[in-house]
Amino acid sequence: MFVKIQNKLKLVYAFSMAFLLIAFVTVIYASFKWQVHVERKKEIRVLAQQIAAEQMELLKRDEAKNTLVNIEKETDRDISGQTFYYLYDARGRELKADMPFPRLGEVVAREISVWSETGKDVRIIDTQMGNGQKITLMVVAQKVYDGPNLLGTVYAGRDVTGYYRVLERMIVPLLGVSMLFLSLVLLVARYFSAKAMIPIKAAYTRQRA
């Protein structure tokens, strides 16, 4: 009888502490992921605002002419291809672009074409290169206004693969630490269940006496 009671107490302690441990690890991982997301979003937002300020005159000329000005493709802003942008006027026509690598450019262009349907100002794009390498992009949409008039939209993005791969690699050590603590939890549960049985056994002995 006492063995069954002790085993039940052990399970209660073990499950309670394991739940707290899993919740703690989950919160830690989610906090790191959210922090990376917020910092990269802020960084790309600043980039989009800088581009919007630089291209204001181009957008104003396009608005005044009401015709499509010559498209100028920039390729020297970031030769690594890690940052990129697309500039569209208020009518949804592409005016200027500093595109990422061709394969990624196709993916980003598809996302931009359906952007208005999502209603979001930030999108995370996961894709795969021809060699099987997984790539994660973050793209921010920045509206450009001249007073109350909408002139266009800047879609600025960055390759954030490295940041998210670091987060993924964190999972293994976190799981390892969790398993270690879970082993300690089982030992602690055994100890507390044994301690809890002392007054129960004493009360049972007094009743039998």
Q: Where are the domains of the chain?
A: 28-166
pLDDT bracket for residue 119 (50, 70, 90): low
Tell whether the model's pLDDT for residue 2 goes beyond 80. no
Q: Name, of 6-15, 160-169, 195-204, the range with top average pLDDT.
A: 160-169
What pTM, to 2 d.p., does this model score?
A: 0.68
- 28-166, what's its fold? Beta-Lactamase (3.30.450)
What is the average per-residue pLDDT within 118-147? Answer: 82
Both tokens of 51, joined, read 């581009």
Q: Locate tokens 């107490």: which residue? A: 9
What is the average per-residue pLDDT within 101-126? Answer: 78
Question: Dihedrals φ, ψ of 100, to 5°?
Answer: -75, -170
Q: Name, of 39-43, 77-81, 113-117, the range with top average pLDDT.
A: 39-43
Nearest one of 128, 153, 127, 151 to 140, comparing CA atoms: 153
Cα–Cα distance measured from residue 39 to residue 46, given in angstroms and rounded to the nearest whole number: 11
Cα torsion angle, 142, 98, 101, 152, sign? positive
Contact 185/17 with Cβ under 8 angstroms? yes
Q: What is the pLDDT of residues 94-104, one digit of tens each?
A: 888 887 776 77
Cα–Cα distance measured from residue 83 to residue 139, given in angstroms and rounded to the nearest whole number: 10
Cα–Cα distance measured from residue 75 to residue 185, given in angstroms and rounded to the nearest whole number: 57
